[in-house]
Amino acid sequence: METLSKPTYMKRNRDGSILIKARSKQQLVMRATIGSLIILSLIGFLLFDYTGLDLASAITETAYNLKVMFVEPALNHFSLGEAFYQVGITLGLAVLSTVIGAVIALFLSLMAATNLSNAWVSKTVRIVVAFIRAVPTVLWVLIFAIAAGLGSEAAVLGMLFHSIAYLVKAFSEAFEEIDKGIIEALQSTGSNWWHIVTHGVLPSTFTYLLSWTFLRFEINFSVAVAMGAAAGAGGIGFELFMASGFYFDLSEVGFITYAILLIAIILEVLSTQLKNRYFPASVRSES
């Protein structure tokens, strides 16, 4: 009788039949990791120093603060027009870092794609962008702040640096997933490398490039809010920092939070509209 080489478990279906599934090592490691993290989190909460904490008072004060923030939003230290101006600055930071980053990443991703570049060039580009992605955006902003000083310049350069690394990986993977027959057909007609890229690769992957670029724009908007406070880049993030840490005006914090949420919803709606317009239904269903 043949024995199973992998750990298995049995499950009875509704019709009474027995379903046998094999557990892979990856599943076992993943479950063990998740279980360990849950246990460590519970131990951490038990070991916290709760001296002087009045739980009832803490819950009451938290509920009151949330009520002031989200039920009574107001602008007390700047006008509505200035609020729109600050939101525009934050959007400008995100647009600059995304558009410039997408253009640079497009050319670098052509060198990173294994089906369009030499092996050593592809590996070199991939290693460099992997290192850049491993460093958080805020650290790149602070690194550039040493040379450019705190402000919008350092914020744009830091976000641009990380955006390029992010989009190079996304674009190159999209290029590698195109049908090999398209490239072989163009090569058989005598097309050079640039003609293959412009007439075969880019038209086949345009919708994916657009989707990844817009996704990175949404990420950069969120990062620009944080950089407004961390790097002194201005924008609505700086006003949020001032309202929460300097004025401690919870009503203003609530208003700014609603403004950021509204922009995020608008960006999501635009993203959905772009997908519905440029993505065929078959492509969306396959993804």
Burial class (CB in 10 A: 0-12, 13-18, 19+), 11: exposed
- Taking the whole predicted model, whether its pTM rises above 0.95 is answered as no
Q: Sign (positive/negative) of CA torsion 169, 174, 175, 177?
A: positive
Helix/strand/coil (H/E/C) assignment for every residue in 161-224? HHHHHHHHHHHHHHHHCCCHHHHHHHHHCCCCHHHHHHHHHHHHHHHHHHHHHHHHHHHHHHHH
> Taking the domains of the chain in order of start, what are their residue ranges?
1-59, 70-286
**Distance in angstroms (rounded) separating the CA atoms of residues 225 and 218:** 11
Average pLDDT of adjacent 10-residue blocks, the chain of 287 residues: 51 58 75 93 85 83 89 84 88 92 94 88 92 88 80 86 93 89 83 86 87 90 84 80 84 90 87 71 41
Fold category of 70-286 in CATH: MetI-like fold (1.10.3720)
Mean pLDDT computed over every residue of the chain: 83
